[in-house]
Structure 1
Amino acid sequence: MLTEVTAIRYVTPLREGGSLPGIVEADDLGTYVMKFTGAGQGRKTLVAEVVCGRLGRRLGLRVPDLVRIQLDPVIGLSEPDQEVQELLKASGGLNLGMDYLPGSLGFDPLAFEVGAEEAGRVVWFDALIGNVDRSWRNPNMLVWHGQLWLIDHGATMIWHHGWRGLDKAAGKPYDASEHVLAPFAPDVAAAAEALAPLITEELLTEVVADVPDEWLTDEPGFDGPDAVRRAYVEVLLERAATVGARVTLGERAGEEPSKAPEWLRVWVDGKASK
């Protein structure tokens, strides 16, 4: 189970992305990036953060540790931004926190080289969880102490926004042609060979057990939180077995030209010609 802490001071909002996370200090003396249940994306964003964050760590990827954070909205009374105050008021009770990495920098593919092995593991992991948000537009990675860290997994497992399509989710391909690590020749085959055997029913059951019951209640078509957890286990277990063979790399899947900026396309072409 995730460690539970209580927020004691709201430090500042982070105005990147649509969920308006904030930095808070907690009663364990830790500092966390807090994601709120009252944000517009809803609780499924937090469920995705828990499932994917915990799973990534179990696979040996660098993902900031997660905690449950209890919030009393009163801590934000001095915040001058009305939008932030409304968000805090709507998020009283249980929320999610990620360990804050002080001094970290946003990943820049021109400034930080990633090896083919590590790139392959990240791309395979993103294929497994159906991550649509690790593109050159929004890398959602940080460099901290010279190492790559993965953050922001709220836009993953799109299938859980409409469970009726669950039967197709396990076999859905993954287009990584605009993945921010695509230029680093990710070795997806090696990653699949190394990581797929680690995705067991036991591992997934342990991971989804960390999702609080209150974020899984009243899900249409399911008889309680445990039934929802079982659905996550089933689709991820089936997907892990074959998703590595359904990753598109190197060229776009459709006829539409790349929307990548000129600097990135020139850089990719230059690397490919070497």
Structure 2
Amino acid sequence: MSGIIKRRKTSDYAQIHNGVLQQLEDIRSIGLISHLMSLPETWEIKKMQLYKKFGRGPITNAIAELEQKKYWVTIQYRQGKKTLYYYNVSDVPFAEAEVLEMISEVEGAGHKITSLSESFAHLLSIVENQQPKQEDDFSVDSSIVENEQLMVNTSPSTVENRQLLNKYKKTNSNKKNNDKQTLLINKELTPAKFKIALISACNEFYSEFAPTRWSKQAWITLIETFVNETISEGRYTNVPADKIQGYAYQSLKNIAYKFDLKNGRIERKFPFYNWLESDNDDEMPY
């Protein structure tokens, strides 16, 4: 009588999520994900090694399905004149927040990303659009130079006029800098740009709130839910660009408080702080 025999293992075994094994349709993809999940997390994925062991054709087709179903992410980037690749694979589909973290890691190392797996390629354009455009440096107006020359040549008190000129330059520069900052702060954020900024802000506080409360996967799900609710309910329109980090911190603080309260870690001692209804910036933790 035919059947499936399962033997309980206590060592030298790999754990693989049933979802990936059931969802994948190509046996080559199933074989590749099984092989990769048997390797340690510190293993560096290199295609040439996989080609040498299993053949270029099978690996190419296997990776194609894994990428399509978001189990594999390829990031191509430039390091000087070299084109390099950064691979990540998981037996649970990657969330956008995880891929954004990968993008941030590569760009944070000073590299220029040139391409991304097709399933997540749209994230590159979102990240690029989020970057503020370079504006012309604030330089001394030509009229200032002319006035300076005139004052030096005709004024009975060069020192006094020089002081007035420096004061004018400083005031004018401060005004332009303030105008520039106000423009960036008040510039309307699209939901897509806000989503990127808020996810990034939340991840900065991972080490403060996540340990002992949520696993990495649970944290990613929590942040995605929080960010999506902020956008779908329109709350993001009340959060200025320069307050996103403070909004993320206080929101996570409230979420952690409710988690601890629900799990009996603490007793209710203070009311929730409603960030959006407060006008007191002094209460914001930075």
Normalised by the length of structure 2, the TM-score is: 0.26
Which structure's relative contact order is higher, taking Cα pairs within 8 Å and 6+ residues apart? 1
Larger Rg belongs to: 2
Say which structure is richer in helix: 2
Give the structure with the larger strand fraction.
1
TM-score by length of 1: 0.27
